């Protein structure tokens, strides 16, 4: 049974996302055509037609438990699973294997990250020898989407459109010749085709790896409760993940999907920025955005000069360069190909990635004053699930109306799956104090440097944090836990007192829970989200606001 729960302080309303039609478009340009519906009388469904043939279900797969570590199915090529095409960088013939999609920050398609990157050499997400995974928690992001409303691509498109209307005239030549005929064809906010595929594939792979844990639901005669938010792309994300995990149309009857209202003023752990008022304040939760813009101002000078020489009637800026790079990412994801990609060099794409690194490190990572507070809600809920109770306190973004009800917040599941946004996944990583991803320290904002934090590895489309709870015959105590980010097992001995180095990233379950309970108490939601202070980039706040 599919449960849609829209619970908050406002009446329960279901709204539909609507795309603004571009100039010259008619209703016939949008699919499905207005006023059309599927005629079930003429086209009956499967249950009415009958004749299903032989149907025999086998045992649940358990690849995460049964496959040897050397045979884990890593996703090393982001575009290999999608019908998308991307150009080589400007000035490159592609022989060096430079993959531009791995330099798109939060607009990258997710790919497997090696545990080696974080210092755990040859460690696999598969269950370590002597261990059985008894519970799994998944926190995942929606797949590829159209740009958010008012983002740089649409602003750039308006700039070009306005320039073509001026008496001075607009003309582009050489590499920019395509702009003479270019039209902005992207929508806003919704999942793209490749985005739906990413979440479907994530659900299918999750079932392939952890399907055996569904046996617990069979024994208890219950269905799992998975959660998401009410934005259209978030609902579709959960539906596509469930369809991949349970099948179509089976998922409609095999999982309860809880939809939490995402709107200003409503508590929601999947969207804490709606109540964390400092989140979008330039001197507090948005210091990363300002720092990234300052970096971009001088990072693309050569490319800006080259492209400006090929266009008249419009003055290009560093903001336009970022917009064009984003159009490379968004058009590839949404339309399958983008002519913008071939305009930029390898160095441009490296700077593009670093632009996102700065933004996310200081907006939602260790350099943010609000990140831990925004991630506190999920942290509290995860610890409640780990321990089987009590339910989390309502001293953050926790919606106590939902979490105090075992129907909507069960504490006895063997599988949990929550869909959310990339900023919240990073907030949660920061709240969990998984410091391996920030180990190189604060990012310089005036020049690109090598660092341990890469946005394309941490917050890409369909990024996912997996937490495994294990019973091991060769450890003491036997109950262990570990954290896996996009297939990279994270070391936790440097961030959790009482955890020693372990080649598989394991640590005592009880010890980790104790550390996390202390972390919950340390995070002051009221001060960090509502307090009066000033923060600045260049600092490692551990996600906490300073006490000015």
pLDDT tens-place string over residues 277-327: 999 999 999 999 999 999 999 999 999 999 999 999 999 999 999 999 999
Distance (Å, rounded) from C-alpha 81 to C-alpha 342? 22
19 domain residue, yes or no: no
- Which CATH number goes with the domain that contains 63? 3.40.50.1240
Distance (Å, rounded) from C-alpha 397 to C-alpha 268? 5
228 domain residue, yes or no: yes
| 3 state SS for 267-306 | CCCCCHHHCCCCCCCCCCCCHHHHHHHHHHHHHCHHHHHH
pLDDT at 547: 94
Distance (Å, rounded) from C-alpha 187 to C-alpha 29? 12
pLDDT at 9: 34
223 domain residue, yes or no: yes
User: Would you say the C-alpha torsion 57, 62, 66, 71 has a positive or negative sign?
Assistant: positive
386 domain residue, yes or no: yes
Distance (Å, rounded) from C-alpha 112 to C-alpha 496? 25
Look up the domain containing 213 and give its range.
31-548
β pairing state of 311-312 and 171-172: antiparallel
392 domain residue, yes or no: yes
pLDDT at 279: 97
164 domain residue, yes or no: yes
pLDDT in tens, 104-122: 999 999 999 999 999 999 8
296 within 8 A of 319, measured Cβ to Cβ: yes
Q: Look at phi and psi of residue 54 and say left if phi exceeds 0, alpha if psi is from -120 to 50, else beta.
A: beta
25 domain residue, yes or no: no
Distance (Å, rounded) from C-alpha 521 to C-alpha 376? 10
15 domain residue, yes or no: no
pLDDT at 94: 80
Helix/strand/coil for 487: coil
Helix/strand/coil for 227: strand
Give me the residues of the chain with pLDDT under 50, please.
1-27
Distance (Å, rounded) from C-alpha 397 to C-alpha 523? 12
Distance (Å, rounded) from C-alpha 219 to C-alpha 480? 24
Q: Round to the nearest angstrom and report the end-to-end CA distance of the chain.
A: 51
Q: Which residues contact 47 (CB under 8 A, 6 or more apart)?
A: none
Angle at 434 between CA 431 and CA 437, to 5 degrees: 120
104 within 8 A of 352, measured Cβ to Cβ: yes
Q: How many domains does the chain fold into?
A: 1
Structure tokens at 358: 């700065």
Q: Look at phi and psi of residue 156 and say left if phi exceeds 0, alpha if psi is from -120 to 50, else beta.
A: alpha
Beta pairing partners, 225? 256
């Amino acid at each position: 049974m599919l449960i849609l729960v829209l619970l908050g302080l406002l009446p329960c309303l279901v709204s539909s996302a609507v795309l603004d039609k571009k100039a010259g478009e008619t209703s016939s340009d949008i699919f499905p055509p207005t006023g059309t519906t599927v005629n079930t009388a003429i086209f009956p469904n499967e249950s009415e037609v009958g004749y299903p043939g032989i149907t025999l279900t086998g045992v649940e797969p358990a690849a995460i438990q049964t496959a040897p570590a050397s045979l884990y199915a890593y996703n090393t090529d982001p575009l290999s699973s999608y019908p998308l095409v991307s150009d080589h960088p400007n000035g490159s013939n592609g022989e060096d294997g430079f993959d531009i999609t791995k330099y798109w920050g939060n607009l990258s398609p997710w790919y497997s990250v090696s545990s080696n990157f974080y210092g755990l050499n040859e460690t696999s997400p598969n269950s370590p020898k002597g261990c059985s995974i008894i519970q799994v928690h998944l926190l995942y992001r929606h797949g590829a989407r159209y740009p958010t409303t008012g983002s740089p691509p649409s602003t750039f498109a308006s700039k070009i459109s306005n320039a073509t209307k001026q008496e001075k005239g607009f003309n582009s030549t050489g590499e920019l010749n395509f702009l003479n005929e270019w039209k902005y064809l992207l929508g806003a906010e919704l999942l793209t085709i490749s985005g739906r595929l990413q979440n479907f594939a994530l659900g299918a792979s999750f079932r392939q790896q952890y399907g055996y844990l569904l046996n617990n639901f069979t024994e208890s005669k219950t269905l799992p409760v998975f959660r998401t938010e009410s934005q259209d792309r978030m609902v579709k994300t959960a539906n596509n993940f469930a369809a991949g995990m349970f099948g179509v149309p089976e998922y409609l009857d095999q999982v309860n999907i809880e939809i939490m209202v995402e709107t200003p003023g409503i508590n929601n752990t999947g969207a804490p920025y709606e109540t964390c008022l400092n989140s979008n304040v330039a001197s507090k939760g948005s210091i990363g955005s300002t720092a990234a813009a300052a970096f971009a101002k001088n990072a693309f000078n050569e490319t800006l000069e080259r492209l400006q020489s090929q266009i008249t009637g419009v003055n290009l800026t560093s903001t336009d360069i970022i917009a064009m790079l984003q159009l490379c990412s968004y058009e590839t994801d949404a339309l399958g190909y983008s002519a913008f990609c071939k305009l930029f060099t390898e160095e441009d794409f490296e700077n593009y990635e670093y632009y996102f690194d700065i933004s996310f490190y200081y907006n939602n990572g260790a350099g943010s004053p609000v990140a831990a507070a925004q991630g506190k809600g999920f942290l509290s809920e995860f610890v409640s699930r780990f321990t089987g109770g009590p339910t989390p306190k309502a001293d953050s973004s926790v919606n106590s109306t939902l979490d105090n009800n075992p129907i909507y917040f069960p504490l006895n599941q063997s599988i949990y799956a929550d869909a959310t946004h990339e900023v919240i996944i990073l907030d949660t990583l920061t709240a969990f104090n998984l410091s391996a991803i920030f180990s190189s320290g604060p990012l310089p904002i005036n020049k690109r440097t090598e660092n341990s934090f890469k946005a394309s590895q941490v917050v890409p489309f369909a990024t996912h944090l997996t937490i495994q709870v294990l019973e091991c015959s060769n450890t003491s105590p036997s109950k262990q836990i570990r954290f896996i980010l996009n297939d990279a097992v994270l070391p936790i001995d440097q961030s959790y007192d009482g955890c020693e180095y372990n080649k598989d990233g394991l640590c005592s379950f009880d010890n980790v829970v104790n550390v996390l309970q202390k972390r919950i108490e340390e995070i002051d939601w009221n001060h960090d989200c509502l307090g009066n202070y000033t923060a600045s980039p260049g600092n490692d706040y551990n996600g906490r606001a300073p006490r000015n």
